[in-house]
């Protein structure tokens, strides 16, 4: 498995063709997922039942020649394990029943034990890894401390997360208390996923791009680096590559690369060539096609894939992906076009040694 092209690409080693996986590849665009979701009765039940989480994780692997599977779960499992009460309503999104409203709420928080409060996730990782039978590597993941804090304070998604930002401005010590405990929880959670069999790890900093530069460095980057250091020092997880994806934070690519992660995820607002020029061969790059391209004609999808591959160039260290998650209204056949185009177009390119 160490020789699989996805893991080789994360280590910036030559590959036979560019590996590809898709964020939210197990999701509502697939009819088989919708059937399993209906059988589960709720999204939370689907996440908390290891057998069902395994089933939907494997569905896109059975349908497409993808190069990695990603654990089916949700970034808000950690706040839920901390007692905030997660629910997900169709058409509404995730909500936390007990958002953090006072300093005392924050001071009561503790780091959940992944093998107890989050045992259902760790059991799912073990089951998925076994059922994959080494076909492709398994990616584990978590949300970033800043992103989780946004939801924990607001209680739901939002456009600006003004309440969370206000806390960071007005009571920075309190916000740092929250981010510190969440960062330790994320690091422990990721380490447990690696110990259970995840072969790569990813942190989704979905809302990092909402922060002004100084705030990003203080309230997001600082804790991403802390997690990266923890992963590197852990006896098991030190062998597992870490991908950081901070959406909308292209101004901070160099600093993100300096955290010691193996790879950076990119959204579609920066070109692969420009990103590589800035971070060189320090890290692999993952991304970054606009998800809306999957609504275009097949020939357009193939042309956009070829353009992205050409933009990165004949270098090692590229994992093809969308710049964000696949949307529920995508025709599954369009994703098949993209995956085949990545493999076919990149197989003809000559991949040089790291430079």
Annotated catalytic residues are 24, 28, 37, 74, 151
Three-state SS string across the chain, please? Answer: CCCCHHHHHHCCCCCCCCCECCCCCCCCCCHHHHHHHHHHCCHHHHHHCHHHHHHHHHHHHHHCCCCCEECCCCCCHHHHHHHHCEEEECCCEEEECCCCCCHHHHHCCCCCCCCCCCHHHHHHHHHHHHHHCCCCCEEEEEECHHHHHHHHHHCECCCCCHHHHHHHHHCHHHHHHHHHHHHHHHHHHHHHHHHHCCCEEEEEECCHHHCCHHHHHHHHHHHHHHHHHHHHHCCCHHHCCEEEEECCCHHHHHHHHCCCCCEEECCCCCCHHHHHHHHCCCCEEEEEECHHHHHCCHHHHHHHHHHHHHHHCCCCCEEEEECCCCCCCCCHHHHHHHHHHHHHHHHCCCCCCCC
């Amino acid at each position: 498995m160490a020789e699989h092209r996805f893991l080789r690409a994360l280590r910036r080693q030559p590959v036979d063709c560019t590996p590809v996986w898709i964020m939210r590849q197990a999701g509502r665009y697939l009819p088989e997922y919708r059937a399993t979701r209906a059988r589960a009765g709720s999204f939370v039940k689907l996440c908390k039942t290891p057998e069902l989480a395994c089933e939907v994780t494997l569905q896109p692997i059975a349908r497409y020649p993808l190069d990695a599977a990603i654990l089916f779960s949700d970034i808000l499992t950690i706040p839920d394990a901390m007692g905030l009460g997660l629910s997900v309503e169709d058409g509404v999104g995730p909500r936390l029943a007990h958002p953090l409203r006072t300093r005392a709420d924050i001071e009561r928080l503790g780091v959940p034990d992944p093998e107890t409060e989050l045992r259902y996730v760790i059991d799912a990782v073990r089951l998925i890894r076994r059922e994959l039978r080494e076909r492709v590597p398994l990616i584990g993941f978590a949300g970033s401390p800043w992103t989780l804090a946004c939801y924990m304070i607001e209680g739901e998604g939002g456009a600006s997360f003004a309440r969370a930002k206000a806390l960071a401005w007005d009571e920075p010590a309190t916000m740092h208390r929250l981010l510190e405990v969440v960062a330790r929880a994320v690091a422990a959670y990721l380490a447990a996923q690696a110990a259970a069999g995840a072969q790569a790890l990813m942190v989704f900093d979905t809302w990092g791009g909402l922060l002004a530069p100084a705030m990003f460095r203080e309230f997001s980057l600082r804790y991403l680096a802390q997690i990266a250091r923890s992963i590197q020092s852990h006896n098991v997880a030190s062998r597992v590559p870490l991908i950081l994806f901070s959406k909308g934070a292209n101004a901070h690519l160099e600093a993100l690369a300096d955290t010691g992660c193996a790879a950076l995820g990119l959204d579609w607002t920066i070109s692969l060539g420009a990103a590589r020029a800035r971070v060189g061969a320090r890290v692999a790059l993952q991304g970054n096609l606009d998800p809306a391209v999957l609504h275009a004609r097949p020939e357009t999808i193939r042309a956009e894939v070829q353009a992205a591959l050409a933009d990165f160039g004949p270098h090692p260290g590229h994992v093809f992906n969308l710049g964000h998650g696949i949307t529920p209204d995508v025709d599954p056949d369009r994703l098949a076009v993209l995956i085949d185009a990545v493999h076919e177009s990149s197989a003809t390119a000559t991949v040089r040694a790291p430079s």
